[in-house]
Structure 1
Amino acid sequence: MAAVPLLICDDSSMARKQLLRALPQDWAVSVTQATNGQEGLEAIRRAQGQVVLLDLTMPVMDGYQLLEAVRDEGHASRIIVVSGDVQDEAVRRVMALGALAFLKKPVAPDDLYATLKRLGLIGAPGRTAFPARPSANAEVSFNEALREVVNVAMGRAAALMARVLNVFVELPVPNVNILYVGELQMALADAHANPQLTAICQGFIGSGIAGEALVIYHDCDVADLGRLMLRAQANEYTDTEMLLDLSSLLVGACLSGIAEQVDVQFAQNHPQQLGVHMPIDDLIRSNQPRWKPTLAVEISYALEGHGIHFDLLLLFTEDSVQRLRNKLAYLMN
């Protein structure tokens, strides 16, 4: 019996490492890895993807586009989606495009095995000589590990928002960067000075990891967001109340997703509108000693069909970085 050509298609080196570790040890597979849908499609055309473990949120070509291309080109690949985007609509769409199953990240080995078994993709161990697999011990950078943790967390936050607003939330690849205090001060000051932006700030702390979450809205979207909230909640909201509630929901869900993966518990302050409840200068002044440099995670959300965009910025204090490294160490090694 020949080894099964298995394709792992995910832009995150952390996610690929987790999947390699989750593969059944007695499954004879020859593994190919791809970092985006275009690379994945080329591998499938080379017959390297009889079975595919596919992410959705990727640059160049995402998972939805790859599923469409596989269907349109008539490939016989058996595709299992493994994604942090756990919206009900995301699951419905991938199944309609031909995926055989949907597993949420990070996938547990038992769940992956049960799915492979249910789909008839793995059987009793045979006498096949197992091909050498790519190393599941490859080094993963701190930024890569954090980006994957945030990717999973933002997907869970999007699923909650989708249920609350009855929308489909489009997800990006999150950005992870180190910002120095001057850069951060300029970015926050620009957001405050722009009359077309409203920023909501919410502090958080847990297990020595602390920071501020900023949700930045375009004012032209506020009325549409208000209508969605009113339709979903049947409550009377002022614009400020609506933005505070939505921000608290988004930040809370995202932090909860991070906390679950790195085994911490975050406490959150009440959200405040910058420039109203908390002047931007006060925010910078009170945090400047801790924000040299700042670890910044940027997520840009969009609501499909509504033209609504808003940004979530997670700012971790300098002292938090080493604690985050320690928490992520067990995932990276």
Structure 2
Amino acid sequence: MSTRVLICDDSKMARKQLARILPEDWDVLVDFAEHGQEALDKMASGKVDILFLDLNMPVKDGYETLEAMQSFTHLPAVIVVSGDVQPKAVQRVKDLGAMAFHKKPASAEELRGLLLSLGLFTPTDGKSLSVAPHSVSAAEQFTLNECLQEVANIAMGRAASVLADMLNVFVKLPVPKVSILEVGELQMALDYSIKDSSCSAVSQGFVGSGVAFETLLIFSDSSFPDMASLLNVSEEITSVVEVELLMDVSSVLVGPFIDALGKQLNIDFSQGHPSLLAQHAKVSDLVNTKRAKWKRTLAVEIAYEVENYQISCDLMLLFTEDSVSMLENLLSYLVEED
């Protein structure tokens, strides 16, 4: 009898990529779920032997899914496949019953080795992998937003891991938001994300292989006391100290993020010097500072929060309009057929 595999990930691109690298000589029937609740519904209505589970998803994330599975009488073997590589994230999912953790993006060789080591896969004589007939399969087409969201998700996890290690904390990660924004819509997006009446921001430019963008790290001003405490800053928190903290966090989050993004796109980005864009400013003032430059932009937004601390910041990538066609070409290589 075929092994029944369920791949749960909110990203169509990630679902397809994972299905493509499953061993072809595995007698397996593959099905898909877009979020944790859909996975739970499918497990409740039919047998699932192995669940590949993402962590950062809407409706019900991976942690909530693992918690809800505790009430099931038949539990599948769970392999978490996520871009969130924080050690505390890995430990949490194992404490919740996951058999193993594998970072995104996975390769066919790595996944095959993992499945063999766990005793979950026995090779067959021929090609046996098949997809459940009601599932969306390899004929899927992917939009720029969907592809960029997935590569940003992986880069986001790499950056969060560095910040978590530096502060010895757990960083809560969202699903990245990708959209084309006019300048007025950009302000509304920031107003929604930045809860404080004032914020500070650092900007930095990047360019490579026809792709140009600016990173914008926006730090809620109420975050400075807890951040200073975690970094063992005992001196008075003056405006100068705040700028130093802001630059430190920007370096830790932006550097690893861009490195992971570049590796996925096969680009070595050249970078400009980070600069203080605003300090103790309103979001409207922040947007007005570069209103002429940001008339229309492809934006990626990631809202980082540190668990149990009043620390939150937004990392935004603002791509030029000229970069969109090049990004589409680069991202298409990640989802093309073997």
The AA in structure 1 aligned to 2:270 is: A
Residue 265 (structure 2) pairs with residue 254 (structure 1): no
Contact 1:6 1:48 in 2 (8 A): no
Contact 1:202 1:269 in 2 (8 A): yes
**What SS class does the counterpart of residue 284 from structure 1 fall into?**
coil
Structure 2 gap ranges (5+): 280-284
More deviation in 95-104 or 45-54?
45-54
Residue 305 (structure 2) pairs with residue 302 (structure 1): yes
Superposition deviation, residue 23 in structure 1: 0.8
Residue deviations 1:258-315, cap 9 Å, x none?
1010000112222222236xx9555334x2xxx4521001101110011321111110
What is the aligned partner in structure 2 of residue 284 from structure 1? 291
CA RMSD of aligned residues (A): 2.6
**What SS class does the counterpart of residue 257 from structure 1 fall into?**
helix
Superposition deviation, residue 128 in structure 1: 9.5
CA separation of 1:189 and 1:176: change in aligned 2, threshold 3 A: closer
Residue 19 (structure 2) pairs with residue 16 (structure 1): no
Superposition deviation, residue 252 in structure 1: 1.3
What is the aligned partner in structure 1 of residue 82 from structure 2? 83
What is the aligned partner in structure 1 of residue 282 from structure 2? none
**What SS class does the counterpart of residue 245 from structure 1 fall into?**
helix
CA separation of 1:178 and 1:128: change in aligned 2, threshold 3 A: closer
The AA in structure 2 aligned to 1:260 is: K
Superposition deviation, residue 132 in structure 1: 4.6
Report the TM-score when normalising by structure 1.
0.89
What is the aligned partner in structure 2 of residue 35 from structure 1? 34
Distance (whole Å) between structure 2 residues aligned to residue 14 and residue 38 of structure 1: 19
Contact 1:32 1:48 in 2 (8 A): no
The AA in structure 1 aligned to 2:268 is: Q
Structure 1 gap ranges (5+): none
Percent identical among aligned pairs is 47
More deviation in 43-52 or 250-259?
43-52
Following TM superposition, where does structure 1 have runs of at least 4 consecutive aligned residues deviating by more than 4 angstroms? 126-134, 185-192, 279-282
Contact 2:28 2:128 in 1 (8 A): no
CA separation of 1:320 and 1:153: change in aligned 2, threshold 3 A: same
Superposition deviation, residue 191 in structure 1: 10
Q: How many residues align?
A: 323
Contact 2:24 2:127 in 1 (8 A): no
Superposition deviation, residue 48 in structure 1: 3.7
**What SS class does the counterpart of residue 214 from structure 1 fall into?**
strand
Contact 2:217 2:315 in 1 (8 A): yes
Determine which of 140, 143, 146 is the counterpart of 2:145: 143
More deviation in 264-273 or 7-16?
264-273
Distance (whole Å) between structure 1 residues aligned to residue 186 and residue 272 of structure 2: 21
Superposition deviation, residue 244 in structure 1: 1.1
